[in-house]
A = this chain, B = another copy of it.
Amino acid sequence: MTSFSPALLPDTLTSALEKVLGPGGLLTQPEDTAAFLTDWRGMFHGKACAVARPANTEGCAETVRLCAEHGIPVVPQGGNTSMVGGATPDDSGRALVIVTSRMNRVREIDPVDNTMSIDAGVTLKAAQDAALDAGLMLPLSISSEGSAEIGGVLATNAGGNNTVRYGNARELVLGLEAVLPDGRVLNLMRKLRKDNTGYALRQLLIGSEGTLAIITGAILQLQPKPKSIETALCAVADARAALKLFAAFRNVEPSAIQAFEFMSGLSMTLVNTLIPDAPLPLANPSPAYVLVELASPRGGDTLRGLMEEVLGKAFEDGLVSDAVLAESEAQRAAFWKLREEHSEAQKRAGTSVKNDVSVPLSAIPEFIDRATSACKTLVPGIRVAPFGHIGDGNIHFNLVQPEGADGAAFLARDHEIMDTVTAIVRELGGSFSAEHGVGQLKSYMMPEWRGGAELDVMRRIKAAIDPAGMMNPGKMLPKAG
């Protein structure tokens, strides 16, 4: 169980940290620290010598410096929404968890540059809202945005629903501020679209999962707020048809495609039957569905015309058998609810094994076909329920336990099932983690997938920037040897 190991925090350090962090900044009691020592899925449980909640960059830097001085490893944590145990300490109890939540200032929104300068502890939702208040849009949206904080979002290079249009988190970052393992502040807070002066340290830190530095601030690129949005739910035969529909939109106006999501028929049925108020708004169930959303900062009905033009042609070509366009914001929300509730519906259907994988777009149909059949052979009755960001080649290839079967027995085979799926991903040139990262859940996969020169260079970088291995130990890079 989670617990606090006070013996490992020397008194002198405790008082120094209390001074730096101020009232409520240092948590040392089990009832206060417990929430930070377990991941939200309940898969990982760790221990820590204390939990620090600095209020600003200086406090964070001084905390890290003190830890470095005392040989105490640090585990950065934002909203604690990692899917891979990336923010949960190990069970040695040696580490100090540094939680960024109190660093939650929106520093500046610049309506000429269309940028937002922000503390790492602002939640993604709060950042989105601040942008909207200024008449702009932060085009990054993930399921956990109410809790996930900007620092974690960047440390994991989050993806989400709008990646197809605006790219991953890394594409939105102009400036970055981070605390290095020795407590120095790395100030890369430059509001520049072009700046070729040295190594792309900002890019290196984004996606490094807190193993090189703690991100404390960022300058994000904003977009004009859309004035028109069109959302359609389409019935398609399979992923092959979904992909052709994607190409049809892309070839006419790629920049209008704000989201392009795939949902398998089985997964949609789980949503319709297990989630209240989530009926299918089409006459008949389909083997698969696409949720497509177009957006433009331009008003008028250009976008509706585009949607109708492409869908009309898709009907004629037999790509789409039925479709419904959202006629109100409420209807749009209802369509999105159908998409967003997949994880919850699968949870209600029993235990499930999740695979957040990506393959080249062209390989998606083959991947789904082969992985479906391999899983059905492995576990008769298994419910194959893929969905996700098909426009990015990113499928959440989730597998729900057979109906009525023993959930724990199914979950006990999770590695066997994941290995079956990822073996196919690998043959197709894909990735074992498209957007969730590596954390502690998947670090064992790194040698096989990213081994040789690639892992060697990663290890060299880690050793160069964090020679004592004090930053988020045990995450991402597997132990050598």
Chain A interface residues (CB < 8 Å from chain B): 110, 112-115, 156-157, 159, 163, 167-168, 170-171, 180, 184-188, 190-201, 203-204, 206-208, 212, 223-224, 243, 247, 250-256, 296-298, 302, 306, 358-362, 389, 392-394, 429-438, 442, 445-446, 449-450, 452-455, 457-458, 460-465, 476-477
Beta-carbon nearest neighbor of A362 in chain B: B112
In the bound complex, CA of A159 to CA of B392 (Å)? 24
A to B CB contacts below 8 Å, 5 in the list: A168-B194, A192-B393, A200-B206, A203-B204, A223-B254
Beta-carbon nearest neighbor of A253 in chain B: B298
Which of chain B's residues have a CB closer than 8 A to the CB of A171? 167, 171
Beta-carbon nearest neighbor of A174 in chain B: B360
Is A358 a contact partner of B186 (Cβ separation < 8 A)?
Answer: no
Beta-carbon nearest neighbor of A194 in chain B: B434
Beta-carbon nearest neighbor of A252 in chain B: B298
Is B247 a contact partner of A112 (Cβ separation < 8 A)?
Answer: yes
User: Provided the pairs A197-B449, A362-B113 are in contact, do residues A192 and B430 lie with their beta carbons within 8 angstroms?
Assistant: yes
User: Provided the pairs A204-B204, A431-B194, A453-B185 are in contact, do residues A199 and B392 lie with their beta carbons within 8 angstroms?
Assistant: no
Contact partner of A463 (CB less than 8 A), chosen from B188, B190, B433, B464, is: B464
In the bound complex, CA of A254 to CA of B256 (Å)? 11
In the bound complex, CA of A452 to CA of B225 (Å)? 38
Is A392 a contact partner of B193 (Cβ separation < 8 A)?
Answer: yes
Beta-carbon nearest neighbor of A436 in chain B: B196
Is A454 a contact partner of B186 (Cβ separation < 8 A)?
Answer: yes
In the bound complex, CA of A453 to CA of B181 (Å)? 11
Instruction: Quote the shortest CB–CB distance from A167 to chain B (angstroms).
Output: 7
- Name the residue among A197, A223, A394, A442 with the largest chain B CB count within 10 angstroms: A197
Is B457 a contact partner of A194 (Cβ separation < 8 A)?
Answer: no
Is A297 a contact partner of B251 (Cβ separation < 8 A)?
Answer: yes
Which of chain B's residues have a CB closer than 8 A to the CB of A438? 196-198
